[in-house]
Amino acid sequence: MSDKRPEFSGAKGEDINEPPAKKKRRLDPYRAFVPEEQEFLIAYENMESRIQNALNTTYEKLTNSLSQDNMSDEIKYLRNRLLTLKEKSSLDPIYIGLVGSTGAGKSSLFNAIIEQQFFLPVSGSEACTSCVVQVSSSQSKNYEAKIHLLSLQEWKEEMKNLVELVRKSRAEEEEEEEGEGEDDVGEAVQKLRALYGRHAETRPYEDLLRAKPLVNIPASKCILLKGVQAKELSDKLDPYVRCQSDKDEEEPAQEEEKAKMRLWPLIKYVEVTIPKSDMIPEGVVFMDIPGTGDYNSKRDEMWKESINKCSVIWVISDIERVVGDKVHEVLLTESIKAYQGGMCSDIALVVTKSDKLYLKEYLRERKEKHKPIETKQDAILERNASVKRKKSNSMKTKLKKILPSDSEILNKADLVYTVSAKEYWKENYITKEETEIPKLREYVRNIYLKEKKKLLVDYVTKALSIVLLAENFNSTGDMLDHYQQSGLEGFVEDKIKALKKEIEQCFAQLEQPLNEGMKQAKLSHQKAFSQLLTRDTGYRGFHKTLKAVCQKNGVYASRVFARIDLNVTLAQPIYDKINPKFANIFRIQKGTRASLKPCLDMFKDSVQEKICEVGKKSPVTSDHCKLNFFIEETNVILRTLEREILKKKMAVYESLPLSIQSDLKPYYEEAAKIHGPQSCQRMQNTLKESIEKKAAGGMFETAKEKMNMQLQELKDSIVTKLQTDISTMLKLGLSHWEKLTEKLSDLQDEYQEIEWTHKMLQRM
């Protein structure tokens, strides 16, 4: 953003001497921002209001002066565009995902960020949040929560899996070592007991289907909670979002409280809104994403969807586990995948509990003994700096393997933050600033400001284009004839053909790494499967985990250890080869001719240059509406196309493991049915043999072809959309009032207002 401060004096429709009460109301939505940022946001708001007023006036003039019964297609198009645009533009939610393993401190971190110490449940080393919780601010005066439950069909599916898991676990107890997989079986038992009482896990599935749950389940599958104060809502919300345990069942509680607690197995996700906040901007949605998924397929889908729609992902790990523990590395890998294939544009590692330091132990073990440490504060800050340096270098090493060296994220000043929610409240050893909670708030504000300006630029450009179109309909026939004879349409057709070839060349960069990755995957598929069997799950055995992997078609999301996805593991050699090229092709920042965006930018520039060339040769030099309409509408078309590409690239990126999963699905189902003596070994043998068989039969070739197919579909959609949208633009631009039969109102005032705003925005 430019350092130039927004100009307020002299702006049309703006009173620089407005009373303090009115100014306070205008500042209210921006309470989370510092004064200089507020000035920018108020300037943006003024501009948006001016545009909206101009569009409303334009729409009224057109509808009042034109016959509604005999509108040409061109005027209907103009009216429909105006109808869409005259509504206030809205910022798409900015999702910030907090992902981390059990006890990493996500809820404590979030509570500190919003300045509410115990809003989300926190509890020492125990897991507290049992489902995805979304929190955002709103204009409401109350604290509100919507608890979304699984549908009846979704619960039936989960209950069947839970009963099967418990049944097979008990049948195999005598055949395998004790203690294996008990965490997942234990959770299954807790869920069944919560809804159907003690010993529910011993009852057949059909019996439970007929049984009446111990708690009333709302027909709407949604529970609404409200509170005037944060604590009031927090107390109401706590029983629903806190993980339950056998210990909880033993402790005394009111019957009403017990009933609420019993609903936890049915909760899909929770939406919480807090009143307008001094700490988080309206439009920013924090997502507390627990663990690494869930045994229930719908909640696991929710986990993946949550990761993929995040604009920003914070991987949360506490200071004691960030060095040796591998779970945060797995989550970082998942986040990088979202950066590659999803909406994510930024990643950070947030190291929590940075105050947790035993001074004598630290002094004994620290390497830089020549530098004196006098206080615990000095020790904490020194260790934080060391952790930042080491983990930042580690992250950059990972990112460099998949991203171009000049990618924006690789050149960020901060990839790692060391925070302490505890010290934020107490300040025993470090200051509030040194906890880096304020720094994370600044991070969020900067993202918001960047997205807000981008949205406004798009909105003003679309408004300018549509008013230019209206004015263009009143342009002269001489200029029209000149444009029709200029060969512009033929030029654009040639440029689209050339762009099609450039996109093909761009995507062709993946062909060699795809082939190399496919060959490597064929060679290493059994090694990948063996790594799955020997990975450290914290159990003395593995057969229940393997059973769960088979039951879930190769994907198992345990709360206890890192997520398992055999399909992705098998596809990983392909990803390792294609990642750098894929990232370069779809990069949204600056790039080379090998990137998709520069190809589109060059197409846009060449078309606009041709339009300007034709315009300069026009005998009617006083009429610039047609020329400017073509320029601005081309900007609109390309920006819209870029957003669609961003949304579609996930389908391309995820096609590899989805193809492998489809090929292996019958064999997963076959292995899942195995039970009895030596069931673990028999499951392994079934999977090994089937993977070998499918690998020899072309499984990886099929995955490669499906990715190529997705790339082809994307290329076709880009070309088709450009052909359609630019053809429409030219058709509209080469129409005028003599052909339209309707006489349009004069819109010079509205055009000048929007053009003035457009120029102001470009200078900011």
DSSP string spanning 117-178?
A: TTSS---TTS--B-SEEEEEEES-SSEEEEEEEPPHHHHHHHHHHHHHHHHHHHHHTTTS-T
Same domain, yes or no: 646 and 530: yes
Integer Cα distance of 341 and 6 in angstroms: 36
pLDDT tens string 605-664: 999 999 888 877 766 555 677 788 889 899 999 999 998 998 888 889 999 999 999 999
Range of the domain at 667: 475-735
| CATH code, 344 | 3.40.50.300
Neighbouring residues of 608: CB distance < 8 A, sequence distance ≥ 6: 630, 631, 634
Q: Report d(CA 187, CA 192) in Å as an integer.
A: 9
Q: What is the pLDDT of residues 67-125, one digit of tens each?
A: 666 677 778 888 888 888 887 666 788 999 998 877 788 888 989 998 888 888 775 44
Q: Which of 435, 458, 492 is the last residue of a domain?
A: 435
Q: Look at residue 760 in the predicted model and tell me its pLDDT.
A: 86
Domain boundary among 377, 410, 435: 435
Residue at 404 is within a domain: yes
Q: Tell which wins on pLDDT, 113 or 178.
A: 113
Residue 499 sits in the same domain as residue 642: yes
Residue 30 domain flag: no
Q: Among the listed ranges 188-192, 477-481, 647-651, which one has the minimum average pLDDT value? A: 477-481
Q: How many domains does the chain have?
A: 2
Q: pLDDT confidence of 371, banded at 50, 70, 90?
A: confident
Amino acid found at 372: P
Give the domain-ending residue among 435, 456, 488.
435
Provide the mean pLDDT of the chain.
82
What sign does the CA torsion over 370, 371, 374, 376 have?
negative
**What is the structure's pLDDT at 4?**
44
Considering the domain architecture, whether residues 576 and 491 belong to the same structural domain is answered as yes
**pLDDT band at 180, cuts 50/70/90?**
very low
**535 plus 673 within the same structural domain:** yes
Instruction: Judge if 365 and 505 occupy the same domain.
Output: no
What beta strand segments (E) does 371-468 contain?
Answer: 416-418
The residues, ordered by sequence, that sit 6+ positions from 102 with a Cβ below 8 Å of its Cβ are: 127, 290, 291, 559, 560
Residue 631 counted as domain residue = yes
- The residue count of the chain comes to 764
